[in-house]
Amino acid sequence: MVLGGDRRGSVLVVEADGEERERFGSWLEQSGYDVSVCPGPTEPDYTCVGDRDGFCPLVAEVDAVVLDMSLDSEAVMVGTAAEEILAFYLMSGRRVVVLGSRPGGEVPGQLVRIRRHPTQDELLEALGSLFEPTPDRSTRPRWDLGP
């Protein structure tokens, strides 16, 4: 979805690893996305701002989120779980690319799952798929004569 000129949508990258966070952000910016970054829940209580306050100012400003499910809160098993953060983003109406090591369901146009540590092409392809229009399933092919 190109919003004007070469500008694409805005994306929040939630990644605990600082080097990957910066790498992903750089790839997305080079591809025309406006990027915000977040390390996810951190010390001392590993609670996400959205979980604590019921509102995340970073999410309010973006069209999509890239979420690595391997967050610090997952490693220490304290605070806000990655699945809770994913649910928060989806309930906020955001499109999400999930980076994970476990398979899971996808929702066309809203949720795509790819492996952790993606290549630049894999990440851009997954994110781009969320900005493509989803087919209108209400229209049937002309040859479909059924009820």
Q: Which residues contact 115 (CB under 8 A, 6 or more apart)?
A: 99, 100, 101, 122
pLDDT band per the 50, 70, 90 thresholds, residue 52: confident
Task: Retrieve residue 128's tokens.
Answer: 């781009």
pLDDT in tens, 97-108: 999 987 778 888
What's the whole-model pTM score?
A: 0.82
Question: Quick one: three-class SS letters along 99-140?
Answer: EECCCCCCECCCEEEEECCCCHHHHHHHHHHHHCCCCCCCCC
CATH classification of 10-131 is 3.40.50.2300, yes or no?
yes
Structure confidence at residue 13 (pLDDT) = 98
pLDDT digits (tens, 9 = 90+) for 2-43: 344 456 799 999 999 999 999 999 999 999 999 999 998 888
The per-residue pLDDT for 55 is 77
pLDDT averaged over the chain? 84
pLDDT at position 6 is 52
Q: Residue 77's pLDDT band (boundaries 50, 70, 90)?
A: confident
Q: What is the pLDDT of residue 64?
A: 97
What percent of the chain is modeled with pLDDT above 70?
Answer: 85
